[in-house]
Amino acid sequence: MYQGILAVHSLLRWLILLFLIINIANSLVEANTPYTQKDKSWNLRLLIVAHLNLLTGLYQYIFGGKGLNYFTDKVAYPNFGHDVMANAVNRFWAVEHITGMIIAIIIITLTRRISMNDNIEPGPKNKKLAIMYIVAFVIILACIPWPFRFDGVPWFRGFGLN
């Protein structure tokens, strides 16, 4: 079951990146046009996929091999804080990945609130949304466990593909 959830989590990250690119493009191309129902639907798709990915990620963090169970093992890490934070890979999995992704999902959630507000003029609304989408995109890119960052991490996790 864990491998299946890991595969879904990995697949959803690619959808999030795709939907962020689409939303960024929509916000930049249609900078001074009214925010349409089509734009709202792309924003909603991004929100749904991001929250699904958050749920699968939290499940992995709580019950998976690189989450709380791993880092709270008193035998492997008798001095939890120092042992985990001193190692860049462990720090990434214990703190950086989950914190960065939660921040990005909070930003994505805020974009939904802004997109639904019809009292904001189209120009400032699209500019604000574009900036927030770009910030979320950069945070997500920085917090994804890329294969070139960690040895042995495949492009599609849970599928056994490198």
Domain positions in the chain: 2-143
**100 pLDDT more than 90:** yes
SS3 assignment for 2-54: HHHHHHHHHHHHHHHHHHHHHHHHHHHHCCCCCCCHHHHHHHHHHHHHHHHHH
Alpha carbons 159 and 147: distance in angstroms, whole number:
14
**120 pLDDT more than 50:** yes
Question: Could you give the percent of the chain with pLDDT greater than 90?
Answer: 44
Alpha carbons 6 and 87: distance in angstroms, whole number:
23
Question: What average pLDDT score do residues 66-94 get?
Answer: 70
Question: What's the predicted TM-score (pTM) here?
Answer: 0.85
